[in-house]
């Protein structure tokens, strides 16, 4: 007969966690991926500052590196008997962080392909994405050791996320006053991908918050 008592199951899981500690350093793997993701977003912002005249090779290189890190974590997760916190949260946190860099990389590829240079809205969204990703890194670093700092970093990341939404709308207001419809269309596509990066940041922070609540 299946035991459906959540309190009893929670106690049993706690005992099992003490008897069978995690055999893999998932926290270290997540932190390494978060730091690499931050490096990728930094490379994207640096590329924006260069005027976007050359292909975003460094951004794509880091993106592929982060993909490999995520795949390694997923494979390890399949084989692991125990984890430091909920395995679904582990998987989702890794996946959503990957989305942040995926969208930054796609934005760079489109800008270069479409011949779209940086403007104030793009630069603002890029810097806010960098700020929010940095807060995620610091949150992941202390997620199991310092709840107060995690909460502070979650608030910082969410403020950056809201800033991206504001910058997106403000940029569209200016963009729709342009007389060149094709230029407006190209830039709107770029804005949209940066907004998606902000939404990936939001999803990442939500998973981080859920994992921390589960550890409390």
* Distance, CA of 64 to CA of 33 (rounded, Å): 12
* Helix or strand (DSSP H, E) at 205: helix 181-215
pLDDT value for 84? 62
pLDDT value for 105? 97
pLDDT value for 117? 94
pLDDT value for 83? 62
Q: Using alpha carbons, select from 128, 110, 119, 112 the residue that is nearest to residue 200.
A: 128
End-to-end CA distance of the chain: 30
pLDDT value for 215? 73
pLDDT value for 7? 46
* Distance, CA of 21 to CA of 13 (rounded, Å): 11
**pLDDT, averaged in runs of 10, over the chain (216 residues):** 46 43 74 96 97 94 96 80 69 93 96 95 98 97 90 96 97 88 91 96 94 80
pLDDT value for 119? 95
pLDDT value for 10? 45
* Distance, CA of 216 to CA of 166 (rounded, Å): 33
pLDDT value for 11? 43
Q: Using alpha carbons, select from 98, 27, 39, 38 the residue that is nearest to residue 69.
A: 98
Structure tokens at 205: 């922070």
Name the residue ranges covered by the structural domains of the chain: 24-215
Q: Which CATH number fits domain 24-215: 3.40.50.10140, 2.40.160.20, 1.10.3720.10, 1.20.58.220?
A: 1.20.58.220
Structure tokens at 37: 């993701």
């Amino acid at each position: 007969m299946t035991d459906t008592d959540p309190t009893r199951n929670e106690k049993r899981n706690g005992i099992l966690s003490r008897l069978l500690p995690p055999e893999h350093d998932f926290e270290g793997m997540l932190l390494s991926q978060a730091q690499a993701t931050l490096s990728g977003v930094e490379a994207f912002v640096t590329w924006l500052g260069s005027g976007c005249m050359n292909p975003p090779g460094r951004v794509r290189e880091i993106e592929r590196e982060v993909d490999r890190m995520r795949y390694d974590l997923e494979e390890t997760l399949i084989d692991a008997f125990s984890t430091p916190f909920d395995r679904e949260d582990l998987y989702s946190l890794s996946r959503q962080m990957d989305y942040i860099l995926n969208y930054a990389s796609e934005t760079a590829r489109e800008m270069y392909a479409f011949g779209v240079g940086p403007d104030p809205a793009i630069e603002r969204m890029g810097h806010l994405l960098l700020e929010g990703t940095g807060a995620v890194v610091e949150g992941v670093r202390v997620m199991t050791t310092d709840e107060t700092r995690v909460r502070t970093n979650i608030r910082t990341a969410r403020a950056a996320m809201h800033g991206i939404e504001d910058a997106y709308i403000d940029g569209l207001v200016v963009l729709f006053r342009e007389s060149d419809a094709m230029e407006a269309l190209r830039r709107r596509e770029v804005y949209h991908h940066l907004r998606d990066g902000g939404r990936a940041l939001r999803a990442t922070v939500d998973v981080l918050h859920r994992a921390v609540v589960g550890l409390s």
